[in-house]
Amino acid sequence: MNGFDVRDGELVIGGMTLSALAERVGRTPFYAHDARRIAARVAEVRAALPPAARLHYAVKANPLPALVTHLCGLVDGLDVASGGELALALRSGGQGAHMSFAGPAKQAAELEQSVAAGVLVNIESFREVPLLAAASERLGRAARVAVRVNPDFELRGAGMAMGGGPKPFGVDAEQVPALLRAIGSAGLAFEGFHVFPGSQMLHGERLAVLIEQSWRLVQQLAQDAPGPLQHVNLGGGWGIPYTEADRPLNLLPVSQALAAVQTALQREAPGARLVIELGRYLVGEAGVYVARVIDRKVSRGEVFLVTDGGLHHNLAATGNFGQVIRRHYPLVVGNRMDTAEREHVSVVGPLCTPLDRFAERVALAPAQPGDLVVVFQSGAYGASASPSAFLGHPACADVLV
């Protein structure tokens, strides 16, 4: 089921049956992330990338310290989006020289922290240039910088657009030449560009076109660069399927497009590094959210499984994290995997809001209080992207196994 094994009628996660894992964790609800599945996904991505390309993990997808530490041994670098994530990445074994920092509202203290750690800062505003110059002077080292570009081409096929049109992210492509002149005048250590048009892309052919367009834009902008091109981050945005209607991303056209970019980059800027930055794609399918059935209620003929977990722990799985159409994640009764019988039920959480609903009238094995509901595709944008303080319920456990 969703790539996880079944043993003795129970889902197996990290080599353990679900009930044994629940006992080890000691309480429900909890997240569990399978370390071996993460390593397998990294290996799959490596096989699709050009050999010289570098793979970075976007910490925002899942900042669980044990998971970040695990990935530090598998990828080439980390990408952070706040001073807090930067501190976490450093504590987890990341090296500043192999990190980048993106975000539209970097504070002066965060920029100074980045310069001190030797992190590559993706500049997203003219405002950041004098702040980085001041930090460089105070610390006696030139800030390493790249320009995050808001592209001027139309974006199609992304679950969430991060570029194209008016955006708070990056610098509009037409303004980049002026920004490059300001970087040169400020004496910052220019290294390259970051272009990240969108996230949750499931169409390999469309993603390949975006990669090609992004590379052509970088080639054009590099003509005004104040120094040699050393770094080209073409983002990621690789998506994972969340519903039965979704199809897994076809990596072949993506791989071919990246190989063409790498060949051109080696020809035009020998020694420059091509970076692919992935978050959800590396960890999303390796994680599950587990909640225990507290009550089985029948209301006017409809069966409700009321669990101890909800949107305060896994907002995205309830369809309340930016989806235009509310869709539930795939889920099962994880300790009744050998039960062929099915009944239609709605799975809800403990919160006093109708939004706290994991699934509506789905076919599941008949469940009773004490059974364990497993929500798949929960390895990314889970606990850290949910309103954990809402209504004062306890935080959930979060483990790597």
Using a pLDDT cut of 90, give the percent of the chain over it.
88
Query: Which residue shows structure tokens 């002066």?
Result: 108
Q: Is the dihedral of CA 182, 184, 188, 189 positive or negative?
A: positive
pLDDT single digits (tens) 270-320: 999 999 999 999 999 999 999 999 999 999 999 999 999 999 999 999 987
198 falls in which pLDDT band (50, 70, 90)?
A: confident
Rounded average pLDDT over 88-93: 97
Under DSSP, is residue 174 helix (H, G, I), strand (E, B) or coil? helix
What's the token pair of residue 120? Answer: 């590559």
What's the token pair of residue 56? Answer: 């970075």
Please identify, in words, the CATH class of the domain defined by 63-278. alpha beta
On average, the pLDDT of the chain sits at 93
pLDDT single digits (tens) 125-171: 999 999 999 999 999 999 999 999 999 876 565 444 444 565 667 89
Distance separating alpha carbons of residues 129 and 53, to the nearest angstrom: 28
Q: Which of 249, 272, 138, 259 is nearest to 201 (CA)?
A: 249
Q: Which of 221, 233, 210 is nearest to 161 (CA)?
A: 210
Distance separating alpha carbons of residues 230 and 224, to the nearest angstrom: 14
What pLDDT score was predicted for residue 156?
A: 60
Query: Which residue shows structure tokens 């922290």?
Result: 113
What pLDDT score was predicted for residue 322?
A: 56
Under DSSP, is residue 91 helix (H, G, I), strand (E, B) or coil? helix
**Domain ranges within the chain, ordered by starting residue:** 6-32+285-400, 63-278
Decide if 327 contacts 358 (C-beta within 8 A): no
What pLDDT score was predicted for residue 320?
A: 77
What's the token pair of residue 355? Answer: 């939004």
Task: Give the other-Cβ count within 10 Å of 392's Cβ.
Answer: 6
Q: Is the dihedral of CA 363, 335, 314, 321 positive or negative?
A: negative
Q: Would you say residue 75 has pLDDT above 70?
A: yes
Distance separating alpha carbons of residues 286 and 331, to the nearest angstrom: 14
What pLDDT score was predicted for residue 219?
A: 97
Q: Which of 83, 159, 167 is nearest to 124 (CA)?
A: 167
200 falls in which pLDDT band (50, 70, 90)?
A: confident
Distance separating alpha carbons of residues 374 and 353, to the nearest angstrom: 21
What's the token pair of residue 80? Answer: 């952070």
Task: Give the other-Cβ count within 10 Å of 401's Cβ.
Answer: 15
CATH architecture of 6-32+285-400: Beta Barrel (2.40)
Distance separating alpha carbons of residues 195 and 163, to the nearest angstrom: 8
The DSSP H or E segment spanning 332 is strand 331-333
Q: Is the dihedral of CA 353, 359, 361, 367 positive or negative?
A: negative
Decide if 376 contacts 33 (C-beta within 8 A): no
Distance separating alpha carbons of residues 49 and 257, to the nearest angstrom: 10
Task: Give the other-Cβ count within 10 Å of 356's Cβ.
Answer: 21
Report pTM: 0.94
Q: Would you say residue 232 has pLDDT above 80?
A: yes
Decide if 184 contacts 191 (C-beta within 8 A): no
Q: Would you say residue 23 has pLDDT above 60?
A: yes
Bridge partner residues of 369 (DSSP): none
Rounded average pLDDT over 21-42: 98
**Phi, psi dihedral angles at 13 (to 5 degrees):** -130, 125
Decide if 44 contacts 286 (C-beta within 8 A): no
Bridge-based pairing state of the strands 273-278 and 287-299 = unpaired
